Structure 1
């Protein structure tokens, strides 16, 4: 059985090896607050750390090569997160590639292309551009195993590799790279080996969260992915501005969005950016796991006033926003 942690992916930025920079592992070792934190990377880690340090009191510039933050999320969710970042006073630069770095702690300069600013200056630098599996130092050649170009090992639905009696789980096997999927991987392998049970990853419903404000909770296909896959898509949406409980707690950022198959009423995906989004998305996870339809979720009575009413309303349920 093989399991390995990952390491920070270091981007090809000229001069980066001569400039002091932090990663998600080392930034929390700081004892003094950065006056201006530059964050390279607008994925999960970059967004979470950018907002966290902004709320600590740092000026923050978030630099993202893709055309939007959290590019794997539904575009409406990415937009809601960006609105939350800018509302907090974070400078967000998308479609911007960092090509050069110079300076020392307190005076870091990044040369970038694709934005209105060719040079961006800050006091500290965080590199948050993804993770790479440590498959290159495991001695896989002795097992006759060859990682793919990204460093991941090919496995079957039971997480077996091509080598006899060798399984790969967690980040090493690619796919969703979350703690909860690694735990499920371990359960599959344990039950396969020691309990002789038939457990696989086939059909596994994997949700995830991003702990920003608005908080993201998501599962399944985004709207663009569903349309690209050929589905006739039905979309349901509810903004948290129309949810009484969200108003009561003073947190109305974001929305709930459902993506469903018009032909079968099957829920294809649910995407939430808003208060307690990481918890609320589990309504959709259970529905998708048990085969409950979009209409059935809409018909389920939800307690008033709760944040969960947003899920019901997004599915076209009986709870309607005030004035609707």
Structure 2
């Protein structure tokens, strides 16, 4: 006999907020979580990784002090204490979430959820059913090769249970690879990163990627067009053999971190018992109401594969909250979801890349500028920061914006706000910018882009 609920939430990450909202609305709610409440972000992902990056940035300021005619050196870096402090933060995440859930009467079920019928799940022999189920099980690092060896994935980093290595090989050049590579190099770990292709951040706009690759390579040893062919572990060291642009090269390090992508947490749900449809990569297919192929069952966050970003998951969970408990009937707004890479350098992007627009044959104006219109930017003594605006020549709307430079993840919100409210580039010069703040870079670039649109003549 199964226990009936008004709502079952499978996954205790951002969707825990939905369970709390449902309980506050008077519903009988069960939340099922097999691991730590809070999900990947605060336990193994964006939060602890950004806490670590703060330490690397502090060290990098000292290393680069000579740019400002200041002689300085780092006497020591207590890497173990750095990780200990981050581990302490992680240890408090699960109990904080559990306290919030229990305070509003959510039934917390710890264990692995399996579907045993269309609207029924089993956990540790306990059966629960509901006409409304939200699957929010997130994702996990792709299974690395040589997993019989003590290699790392991002999940193994947090909490770090071993000593911080003196040397590290990072295999993968996506968000996680370049962020962790920049962190470990920043705190003095001899770090080498390998990319299978000829780019880092392969989905970034090409101009931004070229600058990023050049600057990142000044901090981290990088090998492109590299394919791992063998990996051995003799106790204190790993020995890795790569084919790099047709040559065989061998590298040694104390640890190896695989950052080769992520996959949805669907493999243990026994979805075949529900006839839920998934993509070829295992993501649960949803419509524009986040409803699956079975009415009443929804999927939010990484597990549906729409964006695989924490802030996108939070947006989707809030959409379901409004749909369920505020009566909002509209489909989810197909917003341009921005993202940032908290590496060195920092990158932030929203909308199309130039490659996207060319491939889709969408007319555009492209403007790329340095940040030197802002004296505040000049004071950083950095030459690489750039803004790239991609603008529609028909209506001045922003098709894409790409930043590389300090605080890019913060600065891009000026464009996000504009795109959300009106999306007319001509509004930016109407805003009185604080002088000489970093945001003046948008003023200069937008004026140039507006002039380019006025001069545009389609060929």
Q: Are residues 106 and 239 of structure 1, via their aligned partners in 2, closer, same or farther at CA, if it must alter by over 3 Å?
A: farther
Partners of 1:254 and 1:317 lie apart in 2 by: 17
Query: 216-225 vs 249-258, which deviates more?
Result: 249-258
Partners of 1:38 and 1:87 lie apart in 2 by: 16
Q: Is 1:136 the equivalent of 2:267?
A: yes
Query: Are the equivalent residues in 1 in contact too, given 2:374–2:439 (CA < 8 A)?
Result: no
The CA deviation at 1:3 is 1.1
The CA deviation at 1:17 is 2.9
Partners of 2:365 and 2:270 lie apart in 1 by: 49
State the Cα deviation string for residues 121-143 of structure 1 (Å, max 9, x = none).
Answer: 22210011111111111121222
The CA deviation at 1:78 is 1.5
SS in 1 for 2:297: coil
Q: Are residues 207 and 105 of structure 1, via their aligned partners in 2, closer, same or farther at CA, if it must alter by over 3 Å?
A: farther
The CA deviation at 1:251 is 4.3
Partners of 1:160 and 1:61 lie apart in 2 by: 43
Q: Paired residue for 1:305?
A: 436
Q: Is 1:150 the equivalent of 2:263?
A: no
Q: Paired residue for 1:321?
A: none
Q: Are residues 241 and 50 of structure 1, via their aligned partners in 2, closer, same or farther at CA, if it must alter by over 3 Å?
A: farther
Partners of 1:47 and 1:30 lie apart in 2 by: 22
Partners of 1:241 and 1:20 lie apart in 2 by: 47
Q: Paired residue for 2:211?
A: 80
Q: 1:283 aligns with which of 391, 403, 414?
A: 414
The CA deviation at 1:180 is 0.7
The CA deviation at 1:300 is 3.2
Unaligned runs of 5+ in 1: 319-324
Partners of 2:289 and 2:209 lie apart in 1 by: 33
Partners of 2:443 and 2:334 lie apart in 1 by: 25
Q: Paired residue for 1:262?
A: 393
Partners of 2:342 and 2:331 lie apart in 1 by: 29
Please provide the CA RMSD for this pair: 1.9
Q: Paired residue for 1:9?
A: 142
Partners of 2:353 and 2:215 lie apart in 1 by: 20
Q: Are residues 266 and 67 of structure 1, via their aligned partners in 2, closer, same or farther at CA, if it must alter by over 3 Å?
A: same
TM-score by length of 2: 0.65
Equivalences, count: 314
Query: Are the equivalent residues in 1 in contact too, given 2:372–2:378 (CA < 8 A)?
Result: yes
State the Cα deviation string for residues 95-154 of structure 1 (Å, max 9, x = none).
Answer: 222232112353212222233553232221001111111111112122211321111011
Q: List aligned pairs for 1:103-142, cutoff 5 A.
A: 103-115=233-245, 116-142=247-273
The CA deviation at 1:62 is 0.6
Partners of 2:331 and 2:168 lie apart in 1 by: 43
Partners of 1:260 and 1:96 lie apart in 2 by: 36
Query: Are the equivalent residues in 2 in contact too, given 1:41–1:128 (CA < 8 A)?
Result: yes
Q: 1:69 aligns with which of 190, 200, 203?
A: 200
Q: Is 1:21 the equivalent of 2:154?
A: no
Partners of 1:56 and 1:104 lie apart in 2 by: 25
The CA deviation at 1:199 is 3.9
Partners of 2:222 and 2:345 lie apart in 1 by: 16
TM-score by length of 1: 0.91
Q: Are residues 242 and 33 of structure 1, via their aligned partners in 2, closer, same or farther at CA, if it must alter by over 3 Å?
A: farther
SS in 2 for 1:238: strand
Q: Paired residue for 1:234?
A: 365
SS in 1 for 2:428: helix
Query: 27-36 vs 169-178, which deviates more?
Result: 27-36
Partners of 1:93 and 1:299 lie apart in 2 by: 46
Q: Higher helix share goes to which structure? A: 2
SS in 2 for 1:18: coil
Partners of 1:181 and 1:165 lie apart in 2 by: 21
The CA deviation at 1:52 is 0.2
Q: Paired residue for 1:39?
A: 170
SS in 2 for 1:26: helix
Query: Are the equivalent residues in 2 in contact too, given 1:43–1:70 (CA < 8 A)?
Result: yes
Query: Are the equivalent residues in 2 in contact too, given 1:8–1:132 (CA < 8 A)?
Result: yes
SS in 1 for 2:210: helix
Q: Paired residue for 2:404?
A: 273
The CA deviation at 1:198 is 2.4
